[in-house]
Amino acid sequence: MRPIKLMGHERSLTQVKYNREGDLLFSVSKDNAASIWYSSNGERLGTLEGHQGVIWSIDVDPETHLCATGGGDLAIKLWKVETGKCVFTWDSPSPCRRVAFSADGSKLLAIADQVMGHVGTISVYDINHDEQSLTNQAEKPSLVIETAQGGSKANVAGWSLDGKHIIVGHDNGYVSKYDSKTGEVVESIQAHGIHNEEKNVSITDIQFAPEDRSYFITSSKDKCASLIDFDTFKILKVFKADAPMNTAAITPVKDFVILGGGQEARNVTTTAESQGKFEARFYHKIFEDEIGRVKGHFGPLNTVAVHPDGTGYSSGGEDGFIRVHSFDKSYFDFLFDAERTEKANASGNI
């Protein structure tokens, strides 16, 4: 496959995200402009200008009407996708690490980092989608969840399908389920730091099952990714890598997961040999086996997003590039022995 290289960012990518139909790709990086791209040809629709520094996170509502960004400049911004205009800005008490729309787009959560004397918080904002009054948003969050006393800060978070719960990945490797009305912890599980002896167990990404959000995957600096069921809050699968993982995504159509990461920038010798050797890792979701890698980046992968149709994926790297891939036929043809037998049985005997 021949990827499209997107070189619109000047610094390391922090997050890439597809909209619901997958035609647009949203990207943010450590520079101060978010970009929106047409995923099919890599043409840039435009940039979202307004942040004063690092943008850590971006999300788009299901209708591709509004998108939100959260930055290190203590700003959470809401944009109208069609025009690229910023319609509202919330102040964040500390750098905003993650923004995420609920599945219906009516709510937005934003994680404020636990730095500068601030207790880490997750704020939930109710979003006004009315076209005429987009600039009129509630200033105050409808709910603020503070990191519990002695607890570990939230790094990443996302919504359940019905919007009643928020799943949070913590710095200590725990994953918690919060009630999005009361802000209380419903359930908690240690998802990382239990599969090996790694010291840094910080959770770096959380992405949901594309089909129905009934399970999700977390990636961690502990070189693992965990697949967890939303209802039972049990770890279903563990994917083990040989480097800290920054991101993990679940593919539709095929039962795979894609992991991205790599050695920290400072730990890597930048010899010619290692250049372009940073890889997206493909694992089989059910069998947990690593089944392939895609080379191309010159630095660790910070973020990976899968096209909602399962036809391709995009990765954003520490090297400042986004690579948009479309899978070849062989990707769709690949089946494990057990899967092939299953398929053969399904197609019936003569």
Partner 1 sequence: MSSTVMGSWADAGDEFAAPDITVNPDGTKTVITYRTNAEGKKVKITQKIREVKVQEKVHPLIARRKNWKKFGKEINSPPGPDTSTTQLGEKVELKLNLSWKQIEKEEEENKQQKMSAQVMQTVRCRTCGGDHYTTKCPFKDTLGSNVAEADAAAAAATEAASTTASGKYVPRHLRMDANGNLPSKESRDDSTTLKISQLNTFVDEEMLRDELLSWFGPLQRVNIVRNRETGESRGFAYVSFATEELAQRALDALNGKGYHSLILHLEWSKKRKP
Partner 2 sequence: MDNYEELEKEIRLDDIDFSDLEEKFEVNVGLDNFVVVDGAPIAPEAKASLLTNFIRKKLSTVGEIVEGEEGIHMPIENGQTKGFLFVQYTTAELADAAVKQLNGKPLDKSHNLKINKLADIEKYCTEGNVANEFQEPELPPFKSHGYLKSWLQDDAGRDQIALHFSETVGVYWNKKNNDPEPVIEPRKAFTSKYAKFSPKGTFLFSIHPQGIQSWGGADFHSVSKFIHNQVRLVDFSPNEKYMVTLSPLPITVPDSAAERAHFPFGPESEGHKLVIWDLATGEPARTFALPPYLESQKEMPWPLVKWSFDDKYCARQGPGALAIYETPSFNLLDKKLVKIDGLMDFEWAPAGVHLANSKVENGEHVLSYWTPESTNQTARVALMQIPSKQVLRTVNLFQVSDCKMHWHDEGKLLCVKVDRHTKSGKTLFTNLEFFKTTERDVPVEKLELKEVVVNFAWEPKSERFVIISCLDDGTQNAAFAKNSIVFYAPDAKAKGKVTSTTYKVQQKFDTKYSNTIEWSPKGKYVVVATISRSQGELEFYDVAFEEEKKKTPGTNVKLLRTDKFSGMTNLAWDPSGRFVAAWSSSWLHTIENGYRLYEFTGNLLKDESVDQFREFIWRPRPASLLSAADRKKVRSKLSEYSAQFEEIDAMEADAAVREAILARRKALEEWRTYRAQYAGKAVKTNEVQAEIIEEIKEEIFEEKEEIVE
- The residues of the shown chain that bind partner 2, judged by CB under 8 A, are 2, 38, 40-41, 43, 103, 161, 211-212, 214, 229, 236, 255, 286-287, 335-345, 347, 350
b/e per residue 138-172 (b: at least 16 CB within 10 A): eeebebebbbeeebbbbbbbbbbeebebbbbbbbe
Can residue 139 be called a binding residue for partner 1 (CB under 8 A)? no
Rounded to a whole number of angstroms, the minimum distance from the CB of residue 198 to partner 2 is 25
Q: Which is nearer to partner 1, 211 or 273 (CB)?
A: 273
Judged by beta carbon distances under 5 to 8 A according to partner kind, the member of partner 1, partner 2, none in contact with residue 197 is none
- Is residue 323 helix, strand or coil? strand
* Contact between 11 and partner 1 per CB under 8 A: yes
The SS3 of residue 330 is helix
User: At its nearest, how many Å lie between partner 1 and the CB of residue 61?
Assistant: 13
Q: What is the pattern of x (binds partner 1, CB under 8 A) and - over residues 36-75? A: -xx-xxxxxxxxxx--------------x-----------
Is residue 318 near partner 1 by the rule CB under 8 A? yes
Please identify, using beta-carbon distances, which residue of 194 and 286 lies nearer to partner 1.
Answer: 286
Q: Which H helix or E strand runs over 331?
A: helix 329-333
Nearer to partner 2, 145 or 227 (CB): 227
Residue 5 touches which of partner 2, partner 1, none (CB < 5 to 8 A by kind)? Answer: partner 1
Coil vs helix vs strand at 53: coil
Distance from CA of residue 254 to its chain's centroid?
19
User: Which of 43, 47, 79 has the alpha carbon at shortest distance from 64?
Assistant: 79
8 A C-beta contact, residue 155 and residue 174: no
- Nearest CA to 83 out of 147, 118, 36, 117 is that of 36
Tell me which of partner 1, partner 2, none is bound by residue 49, counting a contact when its beta carbon lies within the kind-specific cut-off of 5 to 8 angstroms.
Answer: partner 1
DSSP codes joined into one string, 182-244: T--EEEEEE-SSSSS--S---EEEEEE-TTTSSEEEEEETTSEEEEEETTT--EEEEEE-SS-
**What are the structure tokens assigned to 80, written together?**
């109208």
Binding site for partner 1 (CB under 8 A): 1-8, 10-12, 21, 23-24, 30, 33, 35, 37-38, 40-49, 64, 82-85, 265-266, 268, 270, 272-273, 275-276, 282, 289-296, 298-299, 318-320, 323, 325, 327-328, 330-331, 334, 336
